[in-house]
A and B are shown apart, each in its own frame.
Chain A
């Protein structure tokens, strides 16, 4: 197979990228290529210009900032999954990446690519929703930040103008004096490495008495964008986290409106949402009470 003809550009700086984006039409940005390359090969996408951002310095850095863990858009999934700062501050991201693709696709695929491709069942946007991530965008009119809740405009459509690019994201990671944080991530897919049918991610912060002080639950695969279970989160806070509470709260996951496709009924999605939420919360409880600050 051969992609349709395009002009290839490989800017070395964000400034060059911005000026290319400001002057060219019908552009696709090539990051890790794990979604765009199939679309090019099959000619689902036929851009006039491909801008390869693999040569821009500084887009693959992982650093702690006062706002949280900042991850460059071009950071490969393989690197994110093993990065010491991710393992220390956002281990649920590393756990979610275990479910993303395969060794060969994680070697090239990037976190920014996933956040721009926006498959409704993708794991990385689900984690961005879990943390209320902030996405850092650049374009000819200068930089701007977008909250994750405002990021997904519609099916597989990020909040990006045609002349803008995602440079990275910040996860406002959790920490609280005297509390322990636990995380969980579970998904169900037909084959390992496929996008999930439904995935659930959970974070809880427990005080010394086992009472939930803060909770976040995010689902992927139930709607066109990751869904936060705000009602369930509120139902957790202020209560001792145990299996009975997890059962009650997980049942709430089945009650939200589920998308439907040719293969999966909303009812089945609801069953999966409940089960995955239960497993994710159970892992979070075990980790928070295991004495490890994971």
Chain B
């Protein structure tokens, strides 16, 4: 198009990310993953494919795991977001899913890990009774180049057990 109206290519948004309210002017064409990484400096959210295939960019938006590369930042106006940086407590206590990834060697290079952990945190917080089949289904949209998935599933099962309060 010849002339782009500034008001239509830039918007002011307010988002709550990991408990902090951020107000920013964003280019409307910026996707949410780029916004988190480049505008907010939250580089824990990884971008692998940027077309919705790998799951590395998963964040938790208003309680639901979503692919941050498949949403415009402007669409997150008013939303509450949790990223991998927001899962551990302020004192450094890890989320049960993070703890279990540590215990069970659920990562090697770590590229897929933010997406795996945010996905599993969201689904297990909603329902910690998920069995192995349901866990495999939950991470079916997250691709891991390294682990062969077995240790990730082991970690998820341990996290689920802890989150149920089994021990």
A interface residues with partner B (beta carbon < 8 Å): 1-10, 26, 30, 33-34, 37-38, 40-42, 48-50, 52, 54, 78, 101-105, 107-108, 191-193
Contact = CB atoms under 8 A, between A and B. Distances in A.
B119 to A, nearest CB: 7
Contacts of B140: 102, 191-193
Contact of A38 (B1, B30, B51): B51
A107 B61 CA distance: 10
B15 interface: no
Contact of B52 (A2, A37, A54, A191): A37
**A-B complex: 9 closest residue pairs judged by Cβ atoms:** A102-B141, A7-B8, A38-B51, A8-B28, A48-B1, A107-B64, A37-B70, A3-B29, A1-B50
27 contacts: A2-B30, A2-B31, A3-B29, A3-B31, A5-B1, A6-B1, A7-B8, A8-B8, A26-B1, A30-B72, A33-B75, A37-B31, A38-B50, A40-B29, A41-B51, A42-B50, A42-B51, A50-B28, A52-B72, A102-B141, A103-B119, A103-B138, A104-B141, A105-B70, A192-B137, A192-B140, A193-B141
A27 to B, nearest CB: 11
Nearest to A46: B1
Contacts of B119: 103-104
B113 interface: no
A interface, over-half SS: loop
A6 B58 CA distance: 25
B9 A5 contact: yes
Contact of A5 (B4, B72, B138): B4
A8 B137 contact: no
A211 B106 CA distance: 54
B146 interface: no
B96 interface: no
Interface string B25-39: 000111100100000
A38 B65 CA distance: 18
B114 interface: no
Contacts of A7: 1, 4-5, 8-9, 28
Contact of A33 (B50, B70, B123, B137): B70
Contacts of A1: 31, 50-51
A199 B133 CA distance: 22
B116 to A, nearest CB: 11
Contact of A8 (B64, B69, B70, B72): B72
Given A4-B29, A34-B70, A107-B66, A102 B55 contact: yes
B30 to A, nearest CB: 7
Contacts of A52: 72, 74-75
Contacts of B5: 7
Contact of A6 (B29, B50, B65): B29
B46 interface: no
Interface in B114-164: 119, 123, 137-138, 140-142
Nearest to A78: B64
B55 A6 contact: no
A8 B61 CA distance: 21
A94 to B, nearest CB: 15
Most buried by A among B29, B31, B71, B142: B29
B67 interface: yes
Nearest to B2: A48
Contacts of B95: none
Most buried by A among B34, B52, B123: B52
Nearest to B58: A104
A104 B67 contact: yes
Nearest to B118: A104
B11 interface: yes
Contacts of B66: 104, 107-108
Contacts of A5: 1, 4, 9, 29
B141 A105 contact: yes
Contact of B141 (A26, A41, A78, A101): A101
B52 A6 contact: no
A105 B1 contact: no
A162 to B, nearest CB: 15
